[in-house]
């Protein structure tokens, strides 16, 4: 005979799996948000460096300051490109994780519905059994409370005295 798990234990494990998959999805979404914020910060920084570079071109200055601005701009673009690649990778992970999460959620919802259906059937059966017990008790009390009636054959026959033997 195969070992059977209770529905509640299986449902509990499915809930844990669903919560774990949801946490993983949330972590991926947090990473995407952080990378997006960092890209926005880099865009602002690139605008600042570009404005400083344009100002340095118009003023008499040493070439190394201008060269520093170009190097800084190049480094900011490189970091921005890396972050965009990370965002792309996280978007792919998010799509995969969404599918995994929805599957876990569907499995949990299926078991939740099954548990609900079984609980309703159990409650219905329980109320039928309770009603049957109440009916049996009522019938038993009613039969005890009613006066004991004798059949008509016993009532109509009057006891006759037995003849005495004169032996």
Domain membership of residue 26 (yes or no) is: yes
DSSP for 150-167, please give it: PPHHHHHPPPPPPPPP--
pLDDT at 18: 95
Domain count, the chain: 1
Considering the domain boundaries, does residue 2 fall inside one? Answer: no
79 domain-assigned: yes
Q: What is the largest CA-CA distance in the chain?
A: 165
102 CB neighbour count, 10 Å cutoff: 13
94: containing domain? 15-113
23 lies in some domain? yes
32: nearest Cα among 74, 95, 118, 120:
95
Query: Is residue 155 one of the residues assigned to a domain?
Result: no
The verdict on pTM exceeding 0.75 is: no
Q: What is the pLDDT of residue 6?
A: 83
- All residue ranges of the chain with pLDDT < 70 are 1-5, 57, 61-62, 147-167
Q: What is the pLDDT of residue 3?
A: 58
Give the C-alpha separation, 46 to 56, whole Å.
Answer: 15
Asked if the structure places residue 81 within a domain, the reply is: yes
- Is 134 among the domain residues? no
Query: In whole angstroms, what is the distance from residue 157 CA to residue 150 CA?
Result: 12
């Amino acid at each position: 005979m195969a070992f059977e798990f209770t529905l509640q234990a299986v449902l509990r494990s499915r809930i844990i799996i669903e919560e774990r998959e949801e946490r993983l999805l949330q972590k991926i979404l947090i990473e995407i948000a952080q990378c997006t914020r960092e890209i926005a910060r880099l865009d602002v920084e690139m605008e600042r460096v570009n404005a400083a570079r344009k100002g340095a071109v118009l003023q008499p200055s040493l070439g190394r300051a201008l060269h520093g601005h170009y190097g800084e701009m190049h480094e900011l673009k490189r970091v921005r490109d890396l972050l965009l690649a990370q965002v792309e990778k996280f978007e792919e992970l998010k799509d995969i994780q969404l599918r995994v999460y929805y599957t876990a959620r569907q499995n949990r919802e299926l078991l939740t519905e099954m548990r609900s259906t079984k609980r309703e059937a159990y409650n219905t059966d329980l109320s039928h059994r309770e009603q049957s017990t109440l009916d049996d008790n009522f019938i038993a009390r009613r039969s005890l409370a009613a006066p004991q009636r004798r059949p008509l054959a016993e009532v109509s026959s009057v006891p006759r005295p037995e003849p005495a033997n004169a032996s």
